[in-house]
Structure 1
Amino acid sequence: MNSNKIIAIALIGFILQGCAGGMNKQGSGTLIGGLAGGLLGSQFGKGSGALAATGVGVLAGALIGGQIGKTMDDTDRRILEMRSQQALETSPAGNSVEWRNPDNGHYGYVTPTKTYRADSGEYCREYTQVIVVGGKEEKAYGRACRKPDGQWQIIQ
């Protein structure tokens, strides 16, 4: 599985968790951090060394991500979702759209990086996302496509 798919899965889980409320903040942060850490760890070593590095990355990422997720709240997630939709809809490639929760100081950026037309005819965009909570930064990469109702849906 390539790295973009892993990060996208984490983002999808995070956004769905925010909508459904099925997992607490720390749990979703742990999931995202673990996936991101595993991805980072997989970039090191060869053969069985890469597998070990991935495992270490998952554990480290889960610990760090759990701390970030523990402190994000529903307002953070709503602001992030609203600003992400805005960035994907109106921001030129390379221009970041910031989100910020004035109540707790959490913030981040969504930056579309490439726009293209999928085989299905939908307009799609690649993007990067940065979330900063308590001075700790998490980065993710993904792709989203614009649905007929105008909403952007994460596809990877």
Structure 2
Amino acid sequence: MISPKPALLLLAALALGGCDLTSRGDSAATGSIGAGRGAGDAAMASSALTNVELSRLIGSKIGSALNDDDRRLAYEAQIRALETGSPGAPMPWRNPASGRYGNIVPGPAYDRKGAQCRGYSHSVTIGGQLEIARGTACRSPDGGWSAVG
């Protein structure tokens, strides 16, 4: 029997490969997602994008442990922290319905090959267990943020 782990890993890699989905939701980046579909399909597509975007920033291990509302709240806080957060100051998020919460602590902005970048630490508490993801995100030419490295 084939182990499902490698198959799932391959499927995730194919789904995420080559995508830069961390735009701020401007119509140029997302306008075609819901084209010709109902509002429910557009909402589902938006949720899928948030899931992929957040997984790229905090990793699939933490992202998969969150529900859709958790991921949306965490992603919105992550983008706020990268956009306007003071270096070293936590940007919190909380989902009272699930009890999950976290903090994003952005580092100082710096230039990397002409792009504005920031390091960050994103801590998430799930069922009393603290998980931490660290990474770097750089502003892409469209103004969104992409995980690098």
Scaled to the shorter chain, the TM-score interval is: 0.5 to 0.7
Segments of structure 2 that go 5 or more residues without pairing to the other structure are 1-15, 22-46, 53-58
TM-score, structure 1 normalization? 0.55
SS at match of 1:77: helix
Task: Report the equivalent of 1:118.
Answer: 112
Aligned 1:2-151 pairs, distance under 5 A: 19=49, 32=61, 69-70=64-65, 72-119=66-113, 121-151=114-144
1:147 to 1:73, Cα distance in 2 relative to 1, 3 A: same
Mean CA deviation greater in 87-96 or 143-152: 143-152
Q: Give the whole-Å Cα distance in 1 for the aligned partners of 2:95 and 2:106.
A: 21
Question: Which is richer in helix?
Answer: 1
Deviates more, 1:123-132 or 1:140-149: 140-149
Residues 101 and 151 of structure 1, relative CA distance in 2, 3 Å threshold:
same
Distance 2:140 2:64 in 1: 29
Structure 1: state its 5+ residue gaps: 1-11, 23-28, 33-64
Change over 3 Å in CA distance of 1:129–1:145 after alignment to 2:
same
Cα shift readout 1:13-67 (whole Å, capped 9, x = no counterpart)? 9xx8953879xxxxxx8x62xxxxxxxxxxxxxxxxxxxxxxxxxxxxxxxx6xx
**Could you state the TM-score of these two structures normalised by the residue count of structure 2?**
0.58
Number of paired residues? Answer: 101
